[in-house]
Amino acid sequence: MRLKIIRLITGGLFGFIVAGLFYTQVIQGEYFFRLSVNNRIRVVPMEGWRGQIKDRNGKVLADNRLSYDVMVTPQEIGDSAELFRFLGAALGVSEQSIARRYGRKKNAPFAPVVIAQDISKEDAIIIEENKYRFPSLSVQESYRRFYPLGENSAHVLGYVGKMSLAQRDRFKEYGYSMESVVGYSGVEEYYDNYLRGEEGGLQIEVNSRGQQVRLLGVRQSQKGQDVTLTIDSEVQQDALELLAERVGVVIVMDMDSGEILGMTSSPGFDPNIFVGSRDASEINQIFADPLAPAINRAITGLFPPGSVFKVIMATAGLETKKIMPGTSFVCPGFYQLRKAVFRCTHVHGTQDLIGALAHSCNVYFYNVGLLLGADTITHYARLMGLGEKTSIDLPYEREGSIPSREQRRLEGRGGWHAGDTLNLSIGQGEVQVTPLQLVRLMTMVARSGWVVQPHVIKAIGDTPVDKFVDERRIKVDEETLETVRKGLRGAVADAEGTARVIGDLPDLYVAGKTGTAQTSGGRKNHAWFAGYAKGKVRNISFCVLLEHGGSSYNAAVLTKDLLLRMQEKKIL
C-alpha cells in the first residue's frame, strides 16, 4: 500500500517534468529558438555613403572624400600597452589618451574600436605597415562628407552628423542604426531619405563572450542617390561676396518656375566643421554666436517687412475700390492722428498711388489704411501669402505672423486702435514675415497673380523633379496688379524713386519696393529691397535684406551689383 502511494507520487513527479518539457520545447519552442538565434548572431553595420549634392550646373556642392580611421579589434588586442605606445608615437598623441579612448569606446570584443578618425594618408600608411606586429590594428577607409565650396550655399545644404539619441529612437524602424550619419537642416535633412546610403553589414556568429566565431554573411552598403539642386553656386558666390561681413539675406528665384537660384544667409558657416570635427569647440562656437550663423534667415528669420508691405496696401485699396490709381493724398511730411504724430520720410506733397509706391510715401498709405480698416488689410496680406509658409523643400521654415483684430481679441491683449492700423499700413509693429515670403509676393505681382512654388530640388538621381508647376492664381484683378507694377517700376526708374540708384540698365527691366523697417532698442533699421527683374535669359524675383543695415539704399545697391554680375555671367 505504502509502496503504491510512493509509485503514484513518483509517477506524478515525472508527469510534472514531462509536462514542463512539453511546454518549454513545444509550446514555447519557437520563442526560445528565436532567442537562441538572437543570442549568437550580431550585425556589424557598414555605413553606406551619401549621394552627392550638385548645383544646377552639375557643380558638386556636397561630396564624399576618402578618410582613414584607425581601428582596434578588442578580441585580438594582445599586449595593449605596447600597441598604445606605438599608436601614440604614430599619431603624435599621448599613450594615455589613446588608452582612455579605447577604454571609453570599447563595446563588444568583435566590434572594432575607433581610436583615431580621419588621419592623414601618411599616418595611415605608417600604421598599415605595422599591422603585422599588431594583429588587432586596422586602418579602415570610409567616406566622409565634404563640402568643396565651404560656406557657399551652407544654409541650403545643411550638414551631417551622427544621430542624436532622440532621433535614434524615432527612426529605428526605418533602418537607421546607432551609428548612422544623418542630415541636419537644409537639403541634407529634407532629402535625407534619398541621400543616405543603404547601410550594409557583416553578419557574424559570436560565442557567449561576444567573440567572433565565424562570418555568416556580408551585405554590401549602397551609395545614396545624387541630388541636383536649382541653386546656382555662382549666384551664391556673388551673394556671399556682396554681403561680405554684413548680416542679411539674398534670395534669387526664377519667377516662372519657382526654382531658387540663390539663397544666402549671412553670417554663414562652413559645414565641413560638423563632419567628424576633432574639436567640438568649433561647433559650439557656431551655436553660441549671438548672430546665429546656423540659422537660415531666408526662411527661418522673421522681420517686419516695412514699406514692402505697401504692395499689399495698394492691392487691397484698388481691389476694394477704396482708391483708384488716380486717388491722391497730400503728404505734409507727417500724419496727425488725434494727439499722436506719425512721420513720413519726406514732405512728398500731392501723391497718386503710383507715385506713393515709387516714393514710398507713408502718409498716402496711412490714409489708405484708415479707408480699408485692419480686417481688410489682414485679409489681403494673407491672400498674398504673408504669414504663411511657402512650403519650400527645406526644413525649419517659419510662417511669421500678420496681426489682426481678431487675434488680438482672442489673446486678450486689449483692443485694436487706429494707431495699430497705421503701423500695419507701413509694415511696422507686429507684422513679421520671412524674406522668402516677400519673394513670393513679388512673383505674384509680376506674374499677374500666378503663384509658383519655391523649391530647391531639380532632380533626384537622373529623375527630374517637376511636380512644382503650380496652376493656382490668387483672385486679384490684373488691372490692379498692373498699377502696382507701375509703382514698383517707378521706384527704380523714377528720378525720385527710392531705388533710383539702380536706374535703367541695358537689357534688364528691374522693378521693386524698398523697405526700411524700424527696429527697437536704438539699433539701425533693417534695409529691404524686394522685386523682380526681366533679363534676356530669364525672369527672376528677388529679395535682399540687410539686418540692421541702415537705409534701404544699401539693399538696392547690393541688388544692383548682384544683377549686373548675374547678367555678366549670362545667368540673367
- Residues in contact with another protein by CB under 8 A are 2-3, 5-7, 10-11, 13-14, 16-18, 20-22, 24-26, 28-33, 35-37, 39-40, 205-209, 213
Residue nearer to another protein on the CB measure, 23 or 287 = 23
Q: How far is the CB of 108 from another protein (least distance, A)?
A: 14
ω into residue 267 within 30 of 0, thus cis? yes
CB neighbourhood size of 291 (10 A)? 11
Backbone angles phi, psi at 181, to 5 degrees: -95, 130
Q: How far is the CB of 261 from another protein (least distance, A)?
A: 59
Q: How far is the CB of 109 from another protein (least distance, A)?
A: 13
Assess contact for 236 and 62: CB atoms under 8 A: no
Residue nearer to another protein on the CB measure, 43 or 337 = 43
Q: How far is the CB of 35 from another protein (least distance, A)?
A: 5
Taking the C-alpha atoms of residue 415 and residue 408, their distance in angstroms, rounded to an integer, is: 7
Q: How far is the CB of 33 from another protein (least distance, A)?
A: 4
Residue nearer to another protein on the CB measure, 163 or 204 = 204
Residue nearer to another protein on the CB measure, 40 or 346 = 40
> Which residues are paired to 141 by β-bridges?
68
Q: How far is the CB of 135 from another protein (least distance, A)?
A: 19
CB burial string 365-380: b at 16+ within 10 A, e below: bbbbbbbbbbebbbbb
Assess contact for 35 and 203: CB atoms under 8 A: no
Residue nearer to another protein on the CB measure, 24 or 222 = 24
Judged on CB neighbours under 10 Å (0-12, 13-18, 19+), 123 is: middle
Residue nearer to another protein on the CB measure, 20 or 78 = 20
Q: How far is the CB of 134 from another protein (least distance, A)?
A: 23
Taking the C-alpha atoms of residue 357 and residue 107, their distance in angstroms, rounded to an integer, is: 68
In angstroms, the first-to-last Cα distance of the chain is 111
Residue nearer to another protein on the CB measure, 215 or 347 = 215
Amino acid identity, residue 160?
V
> Which residues are paired to 82 by β-bridges?
none
Q: How far is the CB of 215 from another protein (least distance, A)?
A: 15
Q: How far is the CB of 42 from another protein (least distance, A)?
A: 12
Residue nearer to another protein on the CB measure, 209 or 570 = 209
Q: How far is the CB of 168 from another protein (least distance, A)?
A: 23
Those residues with Cβ within 8 angstroms of residue 502's Cβ, 6 or more apart along the chain or in another chain:
492, 510, 556, 559, 560, 563
Residue nearer to another protein on the CB measure, 35 or 66 = 35
**DSSP character string of 309-346:** GHHHHHHHHHHTTSS-TT--EEE-SEEEETTEEEE-SS
- Give me 568's grid cell: 555678366
CA atoms within 13 A on the CB side of 2: 0
Residue nearer to another protein on the CB measure, 43 or 46 = 43
Q: Report DSSP state, residue 306.
A: G
Residue nearer to another protein on the CB measure, 3 or 410 = 3
Assess contact for 388 and 382: CB atoms under 8 A: yes
Helix, coil or strand: residue 6:
helix
Which candidate, 290, 289, 286, places its Cα nearest to that of 274? 286
Q: How far is the CB of 192 from another protein (least distance, A)?
A: 36
Which candidate, 204, 174, 179, places its Cα nearest to that of 192? 174
